[in-house]
Amino acid sequence: MTGLLALSLLNGLAYGLLLFLLSSGLTLIFSMMGVLNFAHASFYMLGAYLAYQISQVTGFWVGLVLAPLAVAALGALVERYGLRQVHRHGHVAELLFTFGLAFLIEEIVQLVWGRAAVEFPLPAPLREPLFMLGGIAYPVYRVFMMAVAVGCFLALLALLKRTRVGLVVQAALTHPRMVGMLGHNVPLVFMSVFAVGAGLAGLAGVIGGSALVTEPAMARELGPIVFVVVVVGGLGSIGGAFIASLAIGVLQTLAIGFDVPLGDALASLGVATSKSGNLAELWSVTLAQIAPLLPYLLLILVLIVRPRGIAGRRDL
Amino acid sequence: MQKFAIVAFAGLTALAVQAAGATEPVRLAFVDPLSGPLASSGQLGLNHYRFAADEINAKGGVLGGRKLEIVPFDSKASPQEAILILKRLADEGFHFVSQGNSSAVAAAIVDAVDKNNARDPAKTMVYLNYSAVDPALTNDKCSYWHFRFDSEVDMKTAAMTEFMARNAALKKVYLINQDYSFGRAVGEASRKMLGQKRADIEIVGDEYHPLVKIKDFAPYIAKIKASGAQAVMTGNFGADLTLLVKAAKDAGLEVDWYTYYSSLLGAVTAIGDAGVDRVYELTEWHENIDNPELSAFADAYKAQLKDDWRYMRVRTMLNMFAQALDKAGSDDPRKVAAALDNATYKSPLGDVVMQAENHQLLQPQYVTVLARGGKHDLEGTGIGRKTVAAFTAGQTELPTTCKMKRPD
């Protein structure tokens, strides 16, 4: 049992860290520009597909480096020639713009790479087992995935808290006009933040696409959960997003690993449920079956109880 | 975009048909997911339909020289979407509709076809089902207008558990299935029939996971391992199967797999040598069955589409459809349905029968296992299937609860 628990925690951490990689960029963009970027998960998908395309020629590792850079460049273009034009019409226009962009990217991906999943495997060394736990091999790529995510987390923290650039970014977050008056190029700051955010999503795409699956639906499926991380973590807080991602990853994985009927779960919390009657069907649903719902339950609870999330500086 | 193209295409064909008169093709609407997560399954089916129809057309077509034409529509794997398409098909004069991916969509189509035919006999539609295998469709929810050409879940499970029961060393089985009507039917049938045939086999897990939503199956693999299972039995298909076996391979999970769709869409590529002698599949045909006619047919498909032929039942179905058209002597859907009712077809693997009482096809079934060294392989892996057990068409028959309402 302890083996299963340890394995579930490790799997949860790996999944959570992938979520972090994906949502950290969105947190940056959202907190800074106030843009709810619906197309963020589309950058994740683009990262996977571009890396797939590049890896056909050069192998996985070059793709791992080039694809996120390409996605970042694309993000910069989207900000410069799309969002910045739409910005003057207000947040609703921006939101609709990214909403449309998400559909556009999905259609383009389907036109270029087809509607089926593409074969984008991890290189053999990453697929090797690293260690055994409870008779199950733990492959290298999961640790690699975690290392990249933690690395990005530390780099982002250092950039924001320890450098001059980070100072300007943080200042622009709350006092954009003042920062502009002081002679900093605020539009350039915004464009860079958007590019970095898109690039991070692209990086998550390369890793997630090859470790899991690269298909046209991957953006649509991960899109909503990214917003959960941002809201639960708190606006503008990289640390909050980090904690929220891990919590969601571990929560979902543990729910699958240790599923009990809802009724029993509530009983252990001291809530009595009846085994008969109209709700009996509901109480017999297991935790594993509702695992994909749990993050959204968390989202709703956080919005009601603590709208600023785990580490946000202001309410949503 | 594709939708507009299809509408425009359908419109053009309608015009062409009016101009062509008596040589007009017999149209069969192919309604399956052509976008979304199940698109690859739908596209695979469409390729099969077109190729099998081409074969019939090359041999002179139907009704003395008319062609079979396959017209695709994207169901998006949604029952609502399928019903909308069906309304349009009725308006555009389609009388024959076919579908296979998702029993939920199939149930919606059966219901809509029944209502349509009762309301407007002039627009009668006949539904040919190539893959939706929820037992209810030929039992409690059976319909005279629905003909199923794939063995339903209970028939498949009866054959598979019969084979499993012969393995005396098998003591612990883990069931994992998709959480919707088909997956539930597989899970329940597996549990019940294993219990009947081998009370000593313990079901150490009975899992239902959300349909095409799980990307990381590692948590499930950890659970299977912890349960001590020797074998996993699953009705999963598409990405849900590929990702499951991929995760199992990455985790080094060593169990036998009893499956129904493991030869499809990259699953063999994903599992590779780890699946040799371990992955069993129940199927109506496989590439290493020694039958020159079917092998030549499958080879021609592979040469043309650079992909393996999978669903021999599609060829059987279209040939039975062609045979019924010829027997009816017209494309009147009521006459064609009457000709399909209780029809026998001489397939290269033996006679197959469309049962009159529930419109379920009886056809031979094979249990296969992945092996190296066969004459043919799957997906260019060098790994193919070999027969380990065979069931005749008659052996797959099960009692039905269908009380069929026949037209007057």
Q: Are B146 and B206 in contact (CB under 8 A)?
A: no
> What distance in Å separates the CA atoms of residue A83 and residue A74, rounded to the nearest whole number?
12
pLDDT at A27: 86
CA distances from A69 to A19, A203, A226 (A): 19, 9, 21
> What distance in Å separates the CA atoms of residue B336 and residue B145, rounded to the nearest whole number?
10
pLDDT at A275: 63
Nearest by CB to residue A115, choosing from B39, B223, B252, is B39
Which one has a higher pLDDT value, A15 or A175? A15
Select from A194, A208, A69 the least CA-distant residue to A149.
A208
Q: What is the pLDDT along chain B (408 residues), one digit of tens a residue?
A: 455 555 555 555 554 444 444 678 999 999 999 887 778 889 999 999 999 999 999 999 999 899 999 999 999 889 999 999 999 999 999 999 999 988 889 999 999 999 999 999 999 999 999 999 999 999 999 999 999 999 999 999 999 999 999 999 999 999 999 988 889 999 999 999 999 999 999 999 999 998 877 888 988 998 999 899 999 999 998 778 888 988 898 888 989 999 999 887 778 887 788 888 999 999 999 999 999 999 999 999 999 998 899 999 999 999 999 999 999 999 999 999 999 999 999 999 999 999 999 999 999 999 999 999 888 998 888 999 999 999 999 999 999 999 998 887
Put simply, the answer to whether B226 touches A3 (Cβ < 8 Å) is: yes
CB count in 10 Å sphere of residue B204? 18
> What distance in Å separates the CA atoms of residue A122 and residue A211, rounded to the nearest whole number?
6
How far does B230 lie from chain A, in Å, by closest CA? 13
- Among the residue ranges A160-174, A192-206, A230-244, the one predicted with the least confidence is A160-174
- Is ipTM strictly over 0.90? no
Phi then psi for residue B30, to 5 deg, are -105, 105
β-bridge mates for residue B172, sequence order: B202
| List of chain A residues whose C-beta atoms are within 8 Å of the C-beta of residue B222 | 4, 7-8, 11, 134, 136, 257
Put simply, the answer to whether B219 touches A107 (Cβ < 8 Å) is: no
For residue B224 the two structure tokens come to 């299977």
* A205-223: average pLDDT: 86
For A221, nearest residue in chain B (alpha carbons): B213
Put simply, the answer to whether A288 touches B209 (Cβ < 8 Å) is: yes
> What distance in Å separates the CA atoms of residue B118 and residue A270, rounded to the nearest whole number?
55
Inter-chain CB pairs, A–B, below 8 Å: 92
Q: Are B160 and B139 in contact (CB under 8 A)?
A: no
Put simply, the answer to whether A115 touches B35 (Cβ < 8 Å) is: yes
Put simply, the answer to whether A136 touches B253 (Cβ < 8 Å) is: yes
Which one has a higher pLDDT value, B191 or A116? B191
pLDDT at A177: 84
Phi then psi for residue B220, to 5 deg, are -70, -40
Put simply, the answer to whether B222 touches A288 (Cβ < 8 Å) is: no
> What distance in Å separates the CA atoms of residue A68 and residue A72, rounded to the nearest whole number?
6
| List of chain A residues whose C-beta atoms are within 8 Å of the C-beta of residue B210 | 289, 292
Nearest by CB to residue B39, choosing from A11, A116, A119, is A116
Put simply, the answer to whether B251 touches A136 (Cβ < 8 Å) is: yes
For B211, nearest residue in chain A (alpha carbons): A289
For B253, nearest residue in chain A (alpha carbons): A136
Put simply, the answer to whether A15 touches B216 (Cβ < 8 Å) is: yes
Over residues B283-318, the pLDDT tens digits come to 999 999 999 999 999 999 999 998 899 999 999 999
Q: Are B362 and B355 in contact (CB under 8 A)?
A: yes
* pLDDT mean across residues, chain A: 86
Select from B27, B50, B69 the least CA-distant residue to B300.
B50
Q: Residues near A306 by Cβ (< 8 Å), separated by ≥ 6?
A: none
How far does A50 lie from chain B, in Å, by closest CA? 20
Phi then psi for residue B25, to 5 deg, are -70, 155
Select from B398, B319, B332, B357 the least CA-distant residue to B144.
B357
Residue A136 amino acid letter: I
Buried b (16+ CB within 10 A) or exposed e, A57-69: eeebeebbebbbe
Over residues A78-112, the pLDDT tens digits come to 999 998 888 888 888 988 999 999 999 999 998 99
CB count in 10 Å sphere of residue B199? 8
> What distance in Å separates the CA atoms of residue B376 and residue B298, rounded to the nearest whole number?
10
Over residues B368-390, the pLDDT tens digits come to 999 998 889 988 889 999 999 99
Put simply, the answer to whether B239 touches A135 (Cβ < 8 Å) is: no
Q: Are B384 and B369 in contact (CB under 8 A)?
A: no
CB count in 10 Å sphere of residue B356? 12
Put simply, the answer to whether B251 touches A221 (Cβ < 8 Å) is: no
| Percent of chain A topping pLDDT 70 | 94
Nearest by CB to residue B40, choosing from A8, A116, A135, is A116
pLDDT at B335: 94
For A127, nearest residue in chain B (alpha carbons): B250
pLDDT at B18: 47
pLDDT at B3: 52
Put simply, the answer to whether B43 touches A115 (Cβ < 8 Å) is: yes
pTM of the model: 0.82
Q: Are B340 and B177 in contact (CB under 8 A)?
A: no
Over residues B64-108, the pLDDT tens digits come to 899 999 999 999 889 999 999 999 999 999 999 999 988 889 999
When pLDDT is cut at 50, 70 and 90, the band that residue A236 belongs to is confident
Residue B332 amino acid letter: D
| List of chain A residues whose C-beta atoms are within 8 Å of the C-beta of residue B43 | 115-116
pLDDT at A217: 81
> What distance in Å separates the CA atoms of residue A270 and residue A56, rounded to the nearest whole number?
56
Nearest by CB to residue A213, choosing from B207, B215, B251, is B215
